[in-house]
């Protein structure tokens, strides 16, 4: 199929006001994890209005919009839940009413990650307008609970809906760069036990908090010794939470637990990371318990889909057809070489690629440093670029790599 890339860019620019309005409508709907029902319904309305061939909401609550009826299934994904507002005094504008000028849109979810959703929907309209139908079916997903448990939505889509695309484009923010991987992560719990007694005579008991203290010091050292990968970078860990149990403030603590945010680089598995901690001398001395958290909170539909809090690292080779297609599309549309890099944070790619082995590639409007930040913003020029890219990728891929 011959694509007129100038026409695509012109059409994307023509739809800039509509993309911006749709994004602001989404921002105006509070949609923290497990509270996404209203925003899902708003997306459904927009998909139907621009002419999607089929729109469904699955039992978990993800929205699945289809364009075309061809043999090659290609997916594009945006999670539509957000984190909370945080301290409202740090916002210059209401995080839900937002703010807009000629260049930017401000509000919770602008970059992370509703801008990607807006650009995808209008890419679908461009495909319809310019008759880019080919031997592909484009699946555009608005997924839920990512901020609570990244990848859970795609575990459900793959395993329960039995959907396995040839590749998935994640529209998480990349500053309109092409991202082909990320470190993984896992959530680890370490617990110590003691014996309580009255605080006036602590020698009668066994303080679980004191047992935890040398473990904390050894974890700090362990962080400096973790593996490093040339592309993904170094593994890391930090202690993110601490809990205790005690009969009162006037008693020796009989329990202490910490949470560890462990970032996994290439070659680091969940069991490997757990064993590293179990092997620490202070952990052995304290007979501490080391385990992985799990996640079992219900979605807004009430569905519970339990999973371990383990989200593997993943990369896509630069010579993979999906990456080659993205690079070629960028060059044709914008007349320059793209930057190919990786995310610092985690995405739904942990389930798409890390757990299920489906190729994943990233290209999204917005910037990583806007994620979870007060005064979160995105750029209208990037929304236009993203819509144009998403519109040409399926036909370009099929034309070069999908012919029998």
Residue 225 class from Cβ within 10 Å (0-12 exposed, 13-18 middle, 19+ buried)?
Answer: exposed
> Rounded to the nearest 5°, which phi and psi values hold at 52?
-60, 145
Name which of 60, 37, 44 is nearest 153 in CA terms. 60
- 81 flagged as catalytic: yes
DSSP H or E segment with residue 311: strand 310-311
Selected catalytic residue, list 46, 58, 77, 81: 81
DSSP structure class, residue 337: P
Residue 296 class from Cβ within 10 Å (0-12 exposed, 13-18 middle, 19+ buried)?
Answer: exposed
In this structure, what token pair is assigned to residue 47? 């998909």
Alpha-carbon distance of 307 to 274, in angstroms, equals 17
CA distances, 299 to each of 41, 77, 302, 305 (Å) = 15, 18, 5, 8
317 Cβ contact list (under 8 Å, min separation 6) = 180, 323
Selected catalytic residue, list 46, 100, 114, 146: 146
Asked whether the beta carbons of 82 and 32 are under 8 A apart, the reply is yes
Alpha-carbon distance of 83 to 31, in angstroms, equals 8
Positions annotated as catalytic residues are 81, 146
């Amino acid at each position: 199929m011959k694509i007129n890339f100038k026409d695509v860019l012109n059409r994307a620019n023509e739809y800039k006001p509509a993309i911006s309005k749709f994004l602001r409508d989404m921002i105006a709907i509070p949609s923290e994890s497990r509270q996404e029902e209203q925003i899902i319904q708003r997306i459904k309305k927009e998909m139907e209005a621009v002419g999607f061939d089929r729109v469904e909401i699955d039992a978990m609550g993800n929205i699945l919009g289809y364009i075309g009826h061809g043999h090659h299934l290609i997916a594009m994904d945006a999670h539509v839940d957000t984190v909370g507002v945080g301290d409202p005094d740090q916002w210059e504008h209401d995080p839900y009413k937002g703010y807009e000028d000629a260049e930017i849109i401000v509000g919770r979810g602008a970059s992370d990650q509703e801008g990607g959703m807006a650009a995808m929907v209008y890419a679908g309209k461009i495909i319809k307008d310019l008759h880019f139908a080919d031997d592909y079916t484009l699946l555009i997903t608005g997924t839920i609970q990512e901020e609570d448990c990244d990848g859970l939505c795609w575990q459900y889509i793959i395993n329960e809906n039995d959907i396995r695309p040839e590749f998935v484009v994640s529209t998480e923010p990349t500053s309109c760069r092409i991202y082909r991987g990320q470190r993984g992560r896992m959530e680890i719990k370490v617990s110590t036990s003691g014996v309580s007694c009255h605080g006036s005579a602590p020698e009668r008991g066994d303080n679980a908090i004191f047992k935890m203290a040398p473990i904390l010091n050894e974890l700090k050292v362990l962080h400096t010794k973790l593996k490093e990968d040339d592309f993904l970078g170094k593994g890391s860990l930090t202690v993110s939470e601490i809990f205790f149990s005690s009969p009162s403030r006037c008693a020796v603590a009989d329990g202490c637990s910490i949470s560890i945010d462990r970032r996994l680089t290439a070659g680091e598995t969940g069991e490997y990371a757990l064993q590293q901690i179990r092997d620490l001398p202070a952990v052995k001395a304290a007979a501490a318990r080391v385990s992985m958290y799990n996640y079992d909170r219900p979605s807004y539909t009430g569905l519970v889909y339990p999973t371990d809090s383990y989200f593997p690292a993943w990369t896509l080779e630069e010579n993979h057809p999906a990456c080659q297609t993205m690079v070629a599309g960028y060059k044709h549309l914008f007349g320059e070489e793209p930057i190919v890099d990786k995310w610092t944070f985690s995405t739904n790619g942990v389930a798409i690629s890390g757990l299920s082995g489906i190729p994943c590639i990233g290209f999204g409007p917005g910037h990583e440093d806007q994620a979870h930040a007060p005064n979160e913003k995105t750029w209208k020029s990037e929304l236009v670029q993203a819509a144009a890219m998403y519109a040409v990728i399926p036909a370009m891929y099929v034309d070069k790599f999908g012919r029998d």
